Amino acid sequence: MLAALDASPYLDAHLLSHIDFSHGAVVAVSGGSDSTALLILLKDHFERARCSARLVAVTVDHALRPSSAAEAAGVKQLCERLGIAHRTMVWAEAKPETGVPAAAREARYRLLAEAARAEGIGMVLTGHTADDQAETVAMRRQRSAVDEGRGLAGMAPATLYDGAIWIVRPLIGTRREALRAMLLQRRIQWIDDPTNADTAYERPRVRAAIGANGAGFSAAIALAARAARERMGLGEQAAALIDALAAQPVRGLIRLEPEFGHGGDRAAAIYALRILLAAVGGVSFLPDEARAAALFDRLGTEPFRTTLSRVAIDARRAGIFLYREARGLPEPMPATDCRLWDGRRSITFSDTEEGLVIAPTGPADAARLAQAVQGGGPGSLVRAALCAEPALWRGGECLGLAENTAVAGLTVRPVVAPWARFLPSFDLMPARAVSDLIGAGWVPQSPMYNAGNARS
């Protein structure tokens, strides 16, 4: 959530004191005013705190404008004067004909994460400001697909990328005018990207519409703060329900206690159900709230079976069971390289034996494997769940579930599908609850301290 906005030309010396820099940091610097100011502020902070950790500046050259390479070289020169290590990452792939801003954003995060991994650093800082936050919220408010206000929280102060790299936005509560005033005071130049004023793109149009200091800006910031509080509160309640009432009796099968559908906080229960459906189904987006609410209202009325978001729901008196339906599963593929299988398993192959194939277990072998499962739930549901799990095959023979098969160089790890790529700090509690439930592993600790000086 946002702290009080800092519009002073003299930025608070404690602006970065809530971040743990002990393991170093990568700072994304495009050459614009916001990222250049962040670079200067980080340099000051590291010197003031006598921090010996490594600070590396990274410029992503999207290769979209003829001047981009020269701009990256200019950032490198500034870093050399400041004594800060610098590297340039180039988006060399073919550019899409449409959706360029979204594709460029995806490429930027991927390249920044690559640079951080290469440096052995788990944190990337970006120069997003309160102005960016207001524009983001205003854009999302205009779209009809905003998910019951979750998106109106805007950008989180920190976001975990690919389960490993924290994207931290320390200036999210700071006005751009304050950063530019600081740069002017120090006689440091910055680059103005012409696309920032090109109304062919959505963000510049929204920027002009809300105004820098008008009521539109203030309303967007207030809306973001309120939505963030509500999102975190709802997530905390959903996490408590998952911790208390959900279990995984066998891989791929989730059981909810019968009381999940009775009493308590209906909104939190529906949110928990949507999260679990997305995780079990291996989809990035939570299922439609109205459809999930209609499903929730049927729970406890009578036994029934239905599907939603690639998940089979089997409601019985003994509990509510969720498992991946057998339709639309991945086709058999060679057991090579690394991949996210069906949105549910991170599978890494290295030095594997030739002839291995990864494919769904299928009904016949699921029945065989289910015989070894004790106390895993109703037999028909255990078989149905195992049927959709990844297995290793050779010459048409199923060797067993991928994660239970001893093959050199094979690693199988469950993932929490809705947050496999981006996990905003708003959603840490429900993400950790589902991660614990399905055995996906511990969510890395955020590098940001809260008011109580404990990391979230």
Residues 6+ apart with CB under 8 A from 352: 335, 336, 407, 408, 409, 410
The domain boundary residue, chosen from 193, 213, 233: 213
3-class secondary structure per residue, 163-227: CCEEEECCCCCECHHHHHHHHHHCCCCCCCCHHHHCCCCHHHHHHHHHCCCCHHHHHHHHHHHHH
Tokens of 324: 């991946």
The answer to whether position 115 is within a domain reads yes
Place of tokens 């079990």: 280
- 154 is in which domain, residue-wise? 25-213
**Three-class secondary structure of residue 375 per DSSP:** coil
Asked if the structure places residue 19 within a domain, the reply is no
Question: 24-48: b or e for each residue (b if 16 or more CB lie within 10 Å)?
Answer: bbbbbbbbbbbbbbbbbbbbebbee
Lowest-confidence region among 77-91, 140-154, 196-210, 244-258: 196-210
Q: Is the pLDDT reported for residue 86 higher than 90? A: yes
pLDDT in tens, 155-211: 999 999 999 999 999 999 999 999 999 999 999 999 987 666 666 667 777 776 776
In the Cβ-directed half-sphere of 157, how many Cα atoms lie within 13 Å?
23
* Helix (H), strand (E) at residue 306: strand 304-308
pLDDT of residue 298: 94
Q: How far is CA 87 from the centre of its chain?
A: 25
**Domain final residue pick, 213, 239, 254:** 213
Residue pLDDT, tens place only, 301-339: 889 999 999 999 999 999 999 999 999 999 998 887 778
- Enumerate the β-bridge partners of residue 114: none
Q: pLDDT value at position 264?
A: 74
Burial zone of 405 (CB within 10 Å; 0-12 exposed, 13-18 middle, 19+ buried): middle
Token pair of 136, please? 């983001």
Higher pLDDT residue, 452 or 32?
Answer: 32
pLDDT surpasses 50 at 453: no
- CB contact set of 100 (below 8 Å; sequence gap of 6+): 64
Tokens at residue 76, please? 């490198």
Q: Give me 268's structure tokens.
A: 């939190």
How far apart are the C-alpha atoms of 283 and 218, rounded to whole Å? Answer: 35
Return the residue matching tokens 């399905």. Answer: 438
For residues 336 and 349, give the distance between their C-alpha atoms in angstroms, rounded to a whole number: 5
H and E: helices and strands count for the chain = 12, 19
Do 207 and 337 belong together in one domain? no
- For residue 12, being part of any structural domain is answered with no
Strand pairing report for 304-308 and 311-316: antiparallel
pLDDT score recorded for residue 6: 53
DSSP, collapsed to helix, strand or coil, labels residue 246 as strand
In-domain check, residue 267: no
* Whether this model's pTM surpasses 0.95: no
CB 125 within 8 A of CB 168: yes
| Residue 145 within any structural domain of the chain | yes
Q: From 398, 414, 430, give the residue that closes a domain.
A: 414
Instruction: Please tell me the predicted confidence (pLDDT) of residue 305.
Output: 97
Residue 47 lies in a domain: yes
Is 152 within 8 Å of 140 (Cβ atoms)?
yes
Distance CA 367, CA 385 (A): 10
Place 145 in a pLDDT band, splitting at 50, 70 and 90: low
Tokens of 331: 């086709």
For the domain that residue 139 is a member of, what is the CATH number? 3.40.50.620
DSSP assignment of 408-438 equals TTEEEEE--GGGSSEEEGGGHHHHHHHHHHH
Using CA atoms, how far apart are residues 220 and 107, in angstroms rounded to an integer?
A: 27
CA distances from 216 to 2, 137, 138, 224 (A): 17, 11, 8, 12
Please compute Rg for the chain using Cα positions. Answer: 24
Whether 36 and 11 have beta carbons less than 8 Å apart is answered as no
Residues 134, 242: Cα–Cα separation, whole Å: 33
Q: Kindly state whether residue 89 falls inside one of the protein's structural domains.
A: yes
CA 326 to chain centre: 27
Compute the mean pLDDT over every residue in the chain, rounded to the nearest whole number.
89
Q: Tell me the CB-side half-sphere exposure of residue 294, using CA atoms within 13 A.
A: 7
Q: What is the Cα–Cα distance from 244 to 257, expressed in whole angstroms? A: 9
In a domain, 282, yes or no: no
Tokens of 101: 């801003």
- Residue 9's pLDDT is 43
Would you say residue 154 has pLDDT above 80?
A: yes
Q: What is the total count of domains within the chain? A: 2
Is residue 359's pLDDT more than 50? Answer: yes
Lowest mean pLDDT, pick from 81-95, 320-334, 368-382, 417-431: 368-382
